[in-house]
Structure 1
Amino acid sequence: MKSFSVRKLALAAAVAATGLIGATASSLAQEVTLRLHQFLPPQANVPKLVLDPWADKVEKESGGRIKIERYPAMQLGGTPPQLYDQARDGIVDIVWTLPGSNPGRFPSTEVFELPFMMTNAEATSRAYWDLFEKSMKDTEFKDTHVLGVWVHGPGMLHSKTPITKLEDLKGMKVRAPTRIINALLGQLGATPVGMPVPQITEALSKGVIDGCVIPWEVTPALKVPELVSNHTEFGGDHALYTTTFVLAMNKAKYDSLPDDLKKVIDDNSGQEFAAFAGSTQAGADGPSRQIAVDRGNNIIEISAEDTETWKEAAQPVYAQWVEEMKGKGIDGQALIDEARALIEKYTSQ
């Protein structure tokens, strides 16, 4: 009887040990859960075509040891301008946001938002990453671990009344995403109205604004082709404007990862990811534009020749920005020259 009890206890201990090992193995199988927070609905193109594929790839390459929970449309609370601090403070692990949502905080990024600076999203995103690594990583973005930076495709005007020439903008209330685009619109004669992108739908429907500047790709998610019937595009080699984005991770969370999981994150960060994100976002412009075409909306194309008038009118924005940068101890003209050279380099490749 005694030997049976001993055997029974030994078996129970073995089963318990096996359970403990199994639990340990199970916990190792998924070591990290990361919460990704952003401001657009899940069906919008950036979550669908950029952020979800990125997160899926990280999960797969980690062998399931990283799980990325996706929280769209500010589901975890706060407002879009608070996203960067949510990552910095560890309220969430990863955010996708606009540096320009915090005016003056990331001044170097604004060089890519200056009027008629961008050629195409891929080349400009590569240039942005280069300049980020050289001038921004250890200064303006030192409080987070940045995974990628990029820009969207050509920014353009969407309006209730047609904009066929510069004078048509006069007095029109137009939403802009950042202070640089506000400055541009003001210089061109409009009344700029700064607001985060999720507010555009309501602002247009209630008549708070007469139009907005956004790229084509985000228009379906915001119902813009249903709310306005005029869309103004610009000819030439450079876009009216673009907006900068950042995918940022809490620094302590990244530092806490084991080396092999850090490598998974690193392998999906950097310039190639920036180029993928920028080109993919811009790639959604065409299908989104077609929605407006199919509705019979008015697509206005400013010729390359007439676009020169708009460029000329926008030039004071550069001088004003350089002067503002001087007050921050930044050589704005040097940044402009370097950004242009990098964009040209990657555009010609």
Structure 2
Amino acid sequence: MKKTHVALGAILTAIVPATLTAQDVTLRLSHWVPPTISPATKGIQPWAESVMEASDGRIDIQIFPAQQLGKAPDHYDMARDGIVDLAWVNPGYTAGRFPIYALTEAPFMVDDSVEGAKAIHEWYAEYGAEQEMGDVKVCFVHPHAPGAFHSQKDVTSPEDVQGMNVRPAHATMARFVSLLGGGPVQVPAPEVREALSKGTAEAVTFPWGSMYDFNLTDEVPVHLDMPFYLSSQVMVMNKASYDSLSDENKAVIDEHCSPEWSGRVAAGWAEDDMAAKEKLMADEGQTFNTPTEEEVQSWIDAAAPLIDEWKEAVTDNGHDADAILAAYKEALEARDADY
């Protein structure tokens, strides 16, 4: 009788489901900005598309924008608890929760958001990610170009903020407003226009592009033309979602959770911010105030207590604040992103 020899690999291929060797998975990604504005279209969307392409379609990412699945301040917990697989988080929306990362919110530290994004990623991976975001996987940091102070009246020096109600970008900027004698009005970005139109706030610290993204050109047409602060969002992933991936798919995610990708997602946002600034400058209805060198120094001096407060908070959490601050400055200098 004739014997037929069948390769063992062929038998296994016939009986083992393909999903065990080339896993297909759908990840739910939530963020809190409208899907048409630059942080989404120039950062989050290209990142998700690249993940899907690099995985040859094995990883599908469903994006839920504009707070569809939860409020902006809840996004870290949404990822941690597995409500979503991926979440775009503003750590500054939860004051005191991430004291190390709060250093990125200090004004007058970063003047290049693209190289700064890479520096922040490298620094935080070593000095903070496991310590205070250890229950998620940090994928990338996503700052806008250095934001500015936008108001309904002229503001050129720290003294001008006294008595003003200001919507701050994050907890550190809220503290700065308080130090200057102003009143912080803390609402998420999608609710800023309402606060300004109702008179709850008279000014806002925002990236340039947000003037158009949130239709604010008539609400705050006066701009302080100096790099003022940074707000650096973070894309985080649920750990169980990551751990459940095949090794092949984990490699794709790892490739997209890097300092290089932090720079790439920041670049699109920065380009849009600078284009928006140029558009504003060409608009006769907008006013730009350029501070003198003395006024710039007065702003920097006024912000000095924020670093002292940051050091105290970090030390109280058991960390070496001086070493962390020195490492942050070194990382920025190495990328030529320091103020």
Q: TM-score, normalised by structure 1?
A: 0.87
Matched, 1:345 2:334: yes
Structure 1, gaps ≥5 residues long: 1-20
Which of the residues 51, 56, 60 maps onto 1:58? 51
- Relative to its length, the structure with more helix (as a share) is 1
Three-state SS of the structure 2 residue aligned to 1:302 is: coil
- 1 CA distance for matches of 2:39 and 2:296? 29
Query: What residue in structure 1 maps to residue 37 of structure 2?
Result: 44
Q: Is the 8 A contact 1:50 1:281 kept in 2?
A: yes
CA drift of 1:27 comes to 10
Matched with 2:259 is: 271
User: Please, which of 154, 158, 166 is the counterpart of residue 166 of structure 1?
Assistant: 158
Give CA-to-partner distance per residue, 1:125-166, whole Å, 9 cap, x none: 122112221122222111111111232211211111121333
- Matched with 2:185 is 193
Contact 1:34 1:93 in 2 (8 A): yes
Name the aligned partner's letter for residue 61 of structure 1.
Answer: A
Percentage identity across paired residues of the two chains: 33
1:196-246 deviations in Å (ceiling 9; x for gaps): 111101111111100100111222111111322111121xxxx32111211
**C-alpha distance after superposition, 1:154-183 (max 9, x if no partner):** 121111112133322111100112221111
Distance 2:325 2:100 in 1: 10
Counterpart Cα distance in 2 of 1:166 and 1:86: 37
Contact 2:144 2:273 (8 Å CA) reproduced: no
Cα separation, 2, equivalents of 1:30 and 1:48: 28
Is the Cα contact below 8 Å between 2:92 and 2:105 reproduced in 1? no
1:293 to 269, 281, 290: 281
> What 5-or-longer segments of structure 2 have no aligned partner?
1-13
Which residue of 220, 230, 240 corresponds with 1:252? 240
* Aligned amino acid, residue 256 of structure 2: N
Q: For 1:286, what is the secondary structure of its paired residue?
A: helix
Q: Which residue in 1 is equivalent to 2:208? A: 216
Supply the RMSD in Å over aligned alpha carbons: 2.2
The answer to whether the aligner puts 1:69 opposite 2:68 as a matched pair is: no
The match for 1:11 is none
The change in CA–CA distance for 1:301 and 1:30 in structure 2 (over 3 A counts) is: farther
Alpha-carbon distance in structure 2 between the residues aligned to 1:168 and 1:285? 25
Instruction: Give the structure with higher Rg (CA).
Output: 1
Q: Residue 287 of structure 1 aligns to which amino acid in structure 2?
A: A
Q: Following TM superposition, by how much is the alpha carbon of 1:28 offset from its aligned partner in structure 2, in angstroms?
A: 8.2
Is the partner of 2:61 in helix, strand or coil? strand
Greater alpha carbon shift after TM alignment, 142-151 vs 300-309: 300-309
Provide the secondary structure at the position in 1 that maps to 2:243.
Answer: helix
Say how many residue pairs are matched. 324
Aligned to 2:137: 145
